[in-house]
Structures are given as C-alpha cells and as structure tokens.
Amino acid sequence: MVEKKCFAALKRGVEYWNKWRINHPYRPLDLRGINLSNEIFLGINFSGVNLAGATLVKSNFCGANLDGADLTGANLTEATLSGACLNGANLTGAILIKANYRGAELVGVNLSLADLANANLRAVDFSAAELSGANFNQAHLNGANFVGANLTKANFQLAQLTDANFNDANLIQANLTKANLARAQLHQANLSEAILIKATLEKANLTRADLTDANLSEANLSRANLSKSDLSEACLAKCCLVGVNLTGANLTQADLSQADLTEANLTGANLMRAQAWIANFNRSILTGACLENFKINHQTSFEKVVCKYLYLEHYQKWRIPSTPNQNISLNEFKSTIQDLIGLVAIKVNTAIDWSVLALTLEELQQKYKSQKIEIQSVEIKLDYQFVVKIKIVPGLDTEAINHYFRHKYDLLALTKDKLNNQIDTQKNTRKQATEDTANVYDQN
C-alpha cells in the first residue's frame, strides 16, 4: 500500500524527493503496487524503498540508487537502468523483459525467477547474486560478471555471453542451449546436468569445471581449456573439440560419439568406459591417458597421434609399454587400439587354470548365445600376471563381460579348489585307515 506523504514527495520531482529523504531518514518508504510507468527518475534515491508489485514499464532510472530496494514482482519491462545501483536489491519474480541494465551494479541482487528475456545486460556486475530460475532468454550479457552467482536452473537460451565471467558460479541444471559463451571464464563453475546443446564455447576457460552429466551435444568447444575438468557421463556427441585442452580431464563414461578431437590434448585424461564411436582423434595427444574399457569402432580415427605411453587400468595401472621410462612404439599403439575394437582384455592375477578357463568360456558363451565369443590370446606380463584376450562382436558391453568372466572364473576356481580339498581329505582318510589297519595287524 502506497504511503501518502511518501507519494506526495515523489510527485514533486527527483530533486525534492532526494532532499526530503535526507530530512526524513526514518520515514517508512512504502510504494508497493504503485504505477510509475513512462516516468523519468534520473539519479533518484530509491535505496531501501518498498516497490514490490510496482508497475515501472518504460521508466528511466539511469544513475538511480536502488540499493536494497524491494522490487519483488515488479514490472520493469523496457525500463532503462543504465548505470543504476541495485546492490542487494530484491527482484524475485520481477519482469525485466527488454530492460536496459548496461553498466548497472547488481552485486548480491536477488533475481530468482525474474524474467530478463531480451534484456540489455552488457558488462553488468552480478557477482554473488541470487539468480536461480531466472530467465535470460536471448539477453545481451557480453562481458557480464557472474562470479560466485547462484544460477541454478537459470535459462540462457540464445543468450549472448561473450567474455562473460562465471568463475565459481553455480549453473547446475542451467539451460544454455545455443548460447554464445566464446572466451567466457568458467573456472571451477558447477555445470553439472546443464544443457549446452549447440552452445558456442570457443576459447572458453573451463578449467576444473564440473560438467558431470551435462549435455554438450553439437557444441563448439574448439580451442577451449578444459584441463582437470570433470566430464564424467557428459554427452559430447558430435561436439567440435578441435585443439581443446583436456589435460587431466575426467571423461569417465562420457559420450564422444562422432566428436571431432583433432589436435586435442588428452594428456593424462581418464577415458575409462567412454564411448567414442566414429570419433576423430587425428593428431591428438594421448600420452598417459587411461583407456580402460574405452569403446571405439573401426570408424574411430587415430592418425598421427602423439603418445608416449598409455594405461589400460585406472589409477595409472597396466602401463603400455610395461617397462618404465620406455615409450610406446607405433606398432604397439596400433595393436593396443585394435585390441579395444571387439576385444575384452581380462587380467588374471594367478597362474591360469586351463580347465577352469574353458568352463568359464562355456558359461560366457551360454550367456551371450547369439554372439560368437572366443579366445584370441593369453599373454604373460612382466609382473607374472596373465592377460586373457577374448574376441567379441563390437558393440557388446565390454565392462559387463569383464565382470561376468572374472566372477565366473573365480567362482569355478574356488569350487574346484574345494572339490580337490575334499578329494585330498578323503584320500588322506583312507590312507590313514589303511595305515591304522596295518598297524593293528602288525601288533597281532
């Protein structure tokens, strides 16, 4: 409800209002629900004023002070707020469609569920702001500062975010479909479950960013920096990852199908259980990468790859080549890649029991009746571990086969050991009985 004396002072103009406020520092400033559309309030002091539900359509607030103001549910459609201060203001659920905030200060502002579609927010400071669920659809946010802001479930579809700063921001489940984030700063940003379909992230900085289960299909990440980022279970299908830096990145169970990783740096990256059918790794760097259960096919390309060594188990285990300080040869690299296509390599830590191995293969074939499964080779490593390589049809779940084989082999080996122990016990019992009988006979 509008307070009468407060409204009367406002009607006498900006200069009078500002002086009146100085003379009445403790006066309640209640302008809830007021209609001030198409008014000019250049440099007005509205700090701490209650404007909840106010209609401020096309009003001009250039250079105004709205710090700490309550604008909950206010309608600021096409309002001009250039150079205005809204630090700590509450704009929850406000309508700001096509509003112009260029050069405004919004540090710590609450814009949760606010509608800022098509708004001009270039170079605006949103650091530490509460923006969960806010709608920035097609907004102009080039150079905006979102450091430490909460943007959970915010909508940035088709937004312009070139050179924007999202360092340490919370973007969980945010929608950035077709947004332009070229050269954006996203260091340590949380983008888990975010939607970035067809987004442009060219030369963006995503170091140590959390992109778990994010959807980046058909996004452009060329020359972006994703070193030590977490992309586990992320969808990167048909992504442009040309020249991208994925040093030390976690790509466990990521989908890289049809992605272009030409000249990408994957040094020390974890590709365990990642899927890369028809992907392009030409001229990429794979030194120290983990390829455990890496899913590729004959259309996955590895031409002119730079690689000194690989790991076939996580935590830097099962090094290829196994000799420390020795580099992998071109033929050994090609052989390793070929082994990943239609092969399951299973480690056996003890001496091979051939009868148990044969029974395990029979069990495995019974489980996958429609597929042909056979041993390609059995190899012994320098650490006296055996590696059983099983040839399968490409496309089968290699991890499931590996787990099933290990479980069955161990179970059958244990059963055989128990049976042998029982037989040995029976033999010893009969032997002892024979000896006891002989001793009795001798005594007689």
Closest by Cα among 25, 20, 74 to 44: 20
Domains and CATH numbers, the chain: 1-185 (2.160.20.80), 347-443 (no CATH)
Task: Give the global pTM.
Answer: 0.79
Q: What is the pLDDT of residue 355?
A: 85
Cis peptide before 321 (omega within 30 of 0): yes
DSSP string spanning 407-443? HHHHHHHHHHHHHHHHHHHHHHHHHHHHHHHHHHHHH
Is 10 within 8 Å of 19 (Cβ atoms)? no
- Predicted pLDDT of residue 138: 96
Angstrom CA distances, 127 to 107, 131, 144, 263, stand at: 5, 10, 9, 35
pLDDT at 444: 54
Q: Which residues of the chain register pLDDT less than 70?
A: 1-2, 342, 381-384, 393-395, 433-444
pLDDT of residue 196: 98
Give me the pLDDT at residue 112, please. 95
How far apart (Å, rounded) are the C-alpha atoms in residues 226 and 215?
Answer: 15
Residue type, 48: G
DSSP 393-404: -TTS-HHHHHHH
- What is the token pair recorded at 214? 């994010």
For residue range 260-294, list pLDDT tens digits in order. 999 999 999 999 999 999 999 999 999 999 998 89
